[in-house]
Structure formats: structure tokens, C-alpha cells
């Protein structure tokens, strides 16, 4: 049904028939220095991220886009590590999408798309910031006086198996907004993330979730993931700049323990234009099977679950579209070590300079 819907939307849009009026080109380039401070070793590496996006409005209702990015095919990183004997770095398809807008309030997207899920405080608790899911979604967004409403439905394919059942992700999200006045606004809502057929799945890297380690050849997942999310965000104008506070909780109903995650934080400033400074602080606790780790934050705890800690970030806009930022991540895991086991500390500092065009 999902594929038939996608083809139907495509045929409707293409039947309007219009030449490309304009192709917009945008992108960014980031140079990063990372310092790892681990229990058994410390090291420094340099990385680059380059992205180029082409987008065009076919007509008033249909849009198409393509974005290429570095990253080597990872779902959760578009970074490319330097230092392989000056070897060339490749570009891959990071986004390839079609958008159909039958009304000003409704958007239907299909392909490899920018993540349409609303993330409070730009949280990466459930989805890494670089993730571009694959499938179809529909989002409706409207305002009713001081209130706003944004329901989202999505069906994404995680892993396609020709002879076995696919692993898929279904999403239902409802975001409500309330604008008290010009300086105070609130956002709250909830989501359901239904992952299908994860139990028994074998991946090369499970990133901390529960797996069967008895087999020497493979480590299949032991649990399924049906996540329920609740979030709250408040934005206040203080000193002419935005002060944002947020909280987000996630629970996996498929398991009875180690199934909770919580993050909350505060940020201040825009970090661009005439307000060049921005600072942020987040705290996070992620139990072992609270989220599906292969697509969650790949930096915090080196991408593992069963971690708790914090993130602090400072950003300064040097010029228009040129910014310098420093981010420090600290975590420890496992959260509750077994007898005879000790929690290990993970510390990562990132220094970035980014140019947008």
C-alpha cells in the first residue's frame, strides 16, 4: 500500500507538466578536530563534512531535490576522517526526494528525505541529526489563533530483505504549539515510533542494544522496539535573544526493564547575525533498550546506549554563514554495572568551523 501511494502521488505531480524554473544550489563545509579521552587511550583525529544540495520547484505543488554528502555510507554520520594516505573522499546520495503540496497546510514527501520528525531542543535522543530516512510521510501544519497544530504520519523502510520480512519504522506524532505573546511560546506533544521485526535482526554494529552473544558468527537483536515519546519545549525572549528549555522522555513498551530514556536542556542565543553567541547544555540518560541505537545519536557515548551524562556547546558566528563552535560530551556506562564490573567514562571534545553557502 505504501508503494502504491507513492506512485500515485508521483503520477499526480508529474501530470501537471512544467519545466524547471530554477535550480537552487546550497550546502556547507565543516572542518572538525576531535579529541577522545577514554579509559584506555586518548587520541585526536580530524574530519571533514561537505554537503551540496540541488532543489527545484517544478510547479506550485511539486518540488524535487537531491543532496550529496561525504560520510562513506553511514546512516548517522556525514563526516569523513582525514589521514588515509591522501586518498580521495567520495560523495554519496544523502537526500533524493519529491514533495507534493496539495494545499498550503499539507506536505507529502517521498524518497530519501530530510527527517520530518519534530525534535525538541534539536534533541538526538531518538534520531541522529545526520539521519535521512527513506520512505513516505505526510505532515499537516496549521494555526488556530494562538495555537498551532502539526500531526505527522510516516512509513520508512529500515532494512529491505528480498527473501525475508523487511524491518520498517512507522511514526505517528502530534505537536501542539501555544504562543502566549511575542516573547513566550510553548510546544508540547508526543510520538509513537513502531519498529517492526527487529528481534532476530543481525547487524555488524548493534551500538549497545541487547543482543544474543552466544553465537560466534552473529549477534541478533534480542528485543523489539515500540517507543512512546513525550516532549515539552518553552522559548522565551530574554535580552533580545531566545532562551529555550526542553524535556523529552522515551519508553520502550516491548521490554520490561532498561527501557527508559530522558533528556533535558537549556540554550541561549541565536549564534548568527547581530547575535553571534549561543550556548547550550543538555543532560541525558539512555537505558540499554530505550531507543534503537543504530539510528540514534552517534556521538554521545560513542553511539552506545546504557549511558548517562551531559553535553555542553558554545557557538560564535565569525561572519555571515561562517561559525566556530566547541562541543564537549561526557558520559559513563553501563548505568548500573553488574557485579565485578565498573562504569567506563567517555569524553569527547569537538572543535568545528563551518561555512554555509
* Residue 45 in this model has a pLDDT that exceeds 80: yes
Out of 18-32, 235-249, 273-287, 295-309, pick the least confident. 18-32
Q: Taking residues 229-245, report their average pLDDT.
A: 97
Output the average pLDDT for the chain: 92
* pTM tops 0.75: yes
* Residue 347 in this model has a pLDDT that exceeds 90: yes
- Binned at pLDDT 50, 70 and 90, residue 107 comes out as very high
The owner of cell 544540495 is 53
Q: Which long-range contacts (CB under 8 A, 24 or more apart) does 114-119 make?
A: 116/152, 116/154, 117/152, 117/154, 117/171, 117/173, 117/191, 118/150, 118/152, 118/173, 118/175, 118/187, 118/189
User: Which fold would CATH assign to domain 2-356?
Assistant: Porin (2.40.160)
- Binned at pLDDT 50, 70 and 90, residue 7 comes out as very low
* Residue 67 in this model has a pLDDT that exceeds 60: yes
* Residue 63 in this model has a pLDDT that exceeds 80: yes
What is residue 12's predicted lDDT score, i.e. its pLDDT?
A: 43
* Residue 5 in this model has a pLDDT that exceeds 80: no
- pLDDT per residue over 178-210, tens digit each? 999 999 999 999 999 999 999 999 987 777 899
HSE, side-chain direction, 13 A CA sphere, residue 226:
6
- Binned at pLDDT 50, 70 and 90, residue 15 comes out as very low
* Residue 141 in this model has a pLDDT that exceeds 60: yes
What is residue 68's predicted lDDT score, i.e. its pLDDT?
A: 97
Percent of the chain residues topping a pLDDT of 90: 83
Percent of the chain residues topping a pLDDT of 70: 94
d(CA 148, CA 146): 7
d(CA 242, CA 234): 10
- Binned at pLDDT 50, 70 and 90, residue 41 comes out as confident
- pLDDT per residue over 147-161, tens digit each? 999 999 999 999 998
Which residue ranges make up each domain of the chain? 2-356
Amino acid at each position: 500500500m505504501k508503494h502504491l501511494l507513492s506512485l500515485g502521488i508521483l503520477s499526480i505531480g508529474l501530470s501537471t507538466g512544467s519545466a524547471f524554473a530554477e535550480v537552487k544550489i546550497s550546502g556547507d563545509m565543516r572542518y572538525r578536530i576531535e579529541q577522545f579521552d577514554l579509559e584506555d587511550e586518548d587520541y585526536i583525529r580530524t574530519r571533514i563534512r561537505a554537503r551540496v544540495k540541488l532543489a527545484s520547484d517544478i510547479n506550485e505543488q511539486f518540488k524535487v531535490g537531491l543532496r550529496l554528502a561525504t560520510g562513506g555510507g553511514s546512516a548517522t554520520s556525514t563526516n569523513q576522517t582525514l589521514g588515509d594516505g591522501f586518498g580521495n573522499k567520495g560523495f554519496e546520495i544523502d537526500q533524493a526526494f519529491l514533495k507534493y503540496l496539495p494545499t498550503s497546510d499539507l506536505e507529502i514527501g517521498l524518497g530519501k528525505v530530510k527527517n520530518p520528525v519534530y525534535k525538541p531542543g534539536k534533541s538526538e535522543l531518538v534520531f541522529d541529526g545526520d539521519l535521512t530516512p527513506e520512505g513516505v510521510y505526510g505532515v499537516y501544519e496549521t494555526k488556530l489563533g494562538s495555537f498551532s497544530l502539526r500531526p505527522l504520519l510516516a512509513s520508512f523502510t529500515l532494512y529491505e530483505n528480498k527473501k525475508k520480512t523487511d524491518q520498517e519504522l512507522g511514526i505517528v506524532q502530534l505537536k501542539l504549539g501555544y504562543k502566549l505573546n511575542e516573547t513566550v511560546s510553548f510546544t508540547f506533544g508526543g510520538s509513537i515510533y513502531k519498529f517492526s521485526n527487529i528481534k532476530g535482526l543481525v547487524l555488524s554494529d548493534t551500538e549497545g542494544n541487547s543482543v544474543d552473544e552466544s553465537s560466534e558468527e552473529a549477534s541478533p537483536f534480542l528485543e523489539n522496539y515500540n517507543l512512546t515519546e513525550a516532549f515539552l519545549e518553552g522559548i522565551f525572549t530574554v535580552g533580545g535573544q531566545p532562551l529555550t528549555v526542553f524535556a523529552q522522555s522515551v519508553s520502550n513498551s516491548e521490554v520490561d526493564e532498561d527501557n527508559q530514556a530522558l533528556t533535558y536542556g537549556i540554550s541561549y542565543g541565536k549564534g548568527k547575525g547581530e547575535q553571534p553567541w549561543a550556548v547550550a547544555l543538555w543532560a541525558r540518560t539512555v537505558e540499554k533498550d530505550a531507543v534503537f541505537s543504530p539510528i540514534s545519536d552517534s556521538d554521545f557515548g560513542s553511539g552506545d546506549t546504557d549511558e548517562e551524562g551531559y553535553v555542553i556547546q558554545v557557538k560564535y558566528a565569525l561572519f555571515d554563514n561562517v561559525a566556530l563552535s566547541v562541543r564537549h560530551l561526557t558520559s559513563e556506562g553501563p548505568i548500573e554495572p553488574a557485579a565485578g564490573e565498573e562504569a567506563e567514562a567517555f569524553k569527547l571534545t569537538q572543535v568545528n568551523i563551518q561555512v554555509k553557502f
